[in-house]
Amino acid sequence: MTAQNDPAVAPCPLQKRPGQVEVVVVDDQETPLANVALELAKRTEDEAVCLRTDEHGVAVFKGLDEGRYRLRLLDVEPALWRVLGQLPLPKREGSKAPAWGALSKPPSLTWTCDGTESVSVLAARLGVQPSRLRDAQSGQSLAAEVPPLSGTRVAVSAFTREWREVDTGYRQVVHRIGIPLALVLTLRDGTHRPRVHQPYLLKVWLDDEEELPAREGMTDAAGRVAEVLSERAVRGELTVSPGKQDERKVTLRFAALRPTTEPDGLQERLENLGFSCGGERGELGSKTRRAVEWFQYALGIPPSGDADDATCAALGLLHRS
């Protein structure tokens, strides 16, 4: 009998050692993303295993034969993710082989709008570029600057789900590319003149209430603020001329607004443009009517206080959403 510690005894060089593929998924700010669906498949067979990233943005495929595999993000268009690089992993104890199954079939991506979602937000939610969104009934592309009406059924045009080849023994760093939102505001003073070359401070909060670092800037020659936001941004606070006598603060919502024909949509746009509705919501009370009058007066519309078709159209055009 040969002793186990006999140096002449060595493992067969053809025997494969258990390996693993570790994946970490991050966003544009290199923040780990949880609950991202991943699929790892054998190179030459239609067998795969699916996992989701944990709260640290990590998914670990264990018990693999050493070698090369195929990796993809299940719910994301290939144009919106990429492998940034790989880092070697330390040797770990072997694990049992994963439960291989059939390759995932592409889901039918559809969504019913509630009237408050912009096209960019819908695209980010469905994991595709905005240009792939269609009205499910008409088949027409969605206009990027106009939020779909409540009840609109949105479908995604077909795309190829691509693979990236990865090796065992490495951590793969995957970038989930975000779809930025554009914030463009024209700031005006009490006489409705653009506030040109004015300093401002912008605070932004995400959907989990995380507050991002404040941004400082200067309005342009037309009095505009132009910033790029994360698709997770839900609200903000803009301070114009901070610390000066003419300082002014504006509270912002980044989700698409209700139509101007609805009281909430009318009031939110008036507030964003500096015409205070005195906190009224859901009804056209006296304070909202007064704000409408001031808006009409500023634009040269006969100040009736009524939200007629001409006023709503002018408000939507000036607000640009």
pLDDT in tens, 72-82: 999 899 999 99
Give yes or no for residue 167 having a pLDDT over 70: yes
36 burial via Cβ count (<10 Å: 0-12, 13-18, 19+): buried
Average pLDDT, the chain: 85
User: Residue 126: what pLDDT?
Assistant: 86
CA separation for the pair 114, 152 (Å, rounded) = 8
Can you give the pLDDT at residue 230? 77
Q: 107-114 contacts: CB < 8 A, separation 24 or more?
A: 107/75, 108/155, 109/155, 109/156, 110/136, 110/153, 110/154, 110/155, 110/156, 111/153, 111/154, 112/151, 112/152, 112/153, 112/154, 113/147, 113/148, 113/149, 113/150, 113/151, 113/152, 113/153, 113/154, 114/150
**Which of the pair, 316 or 251, is modelled with greater confidence?**
251
- Domain with residues 257-321, CATH architecture: Orthogonal Bundle (1.10)
Q: Out of 113-117, 222-226, 298-302, 305-309, which region has the weakest mean confidence (pLDDT)? A: 113-117
* Domain boundaries defined on the chain: 18-104+160-176, 110-156, 180-255, 257-321
What residues does 225 pair with on adjacent strands?
A: 185
Q: Lowest mean pLDDT: which of 39-53, 106-120, 146-160, 230-244?
A: 106-120
Q: From CA 249, how far away is CA 65, in angstroms rounded?
A: 60
- C-beta separation of 204 from 228 below 8 A: no
CATH topology classification for 180-255: Immunoglobulin-like (2.60.40)
- 272-283 mean pLDDT: 84
**CA 187 to chain CA centroid, nearest Å:** 26
Q: Which two tokens stand for residue 183?
A: 């914030």
Residue with more model confidence, 304 or 282: 304
In the beta sheet, which residues pair with residue 101?
Answer: 48
Q: How far apart are CA 225 and CA 213, in angstroms?
A: 17
Superfamily for 18-104+160-176?
Answer: Immunoglobulins (2.60.40.10)
Calculate mean pLDDT across residues 169-194. Answer: 84
- Are the C-beta atoms of 197 and 218 separated by less than 8 Å? yes
Instruction: Assess contact for 194 and 100: CB atoms under 8 A.
Output: no
In this predicted structure, the answer to whether residue 114 has a pLDDT above a threshold of 50 is yes
| pTM of the predicted model over 0.95 | no
Q: How far apart are CA 146 and CA 164, in angstroms?
A: 36
Q: For 36, what's the count of Cα atoms within 13 Å in the CB-facing half-sphere?
A: 28
Q: How many CB atoms lie within 10 A of CB 269?
A: 23
Q: What would the DSSP string read from start to end of 114-155?
A: -S---HHHHHHHHTS-GGGEEETTT-PBPPTTSPPPTT-EEE
Question: Matching CATH topology for 18-104+160-176 and 257-321?
Answer: no
- pLDDT surpassing 50 at residue 4: no
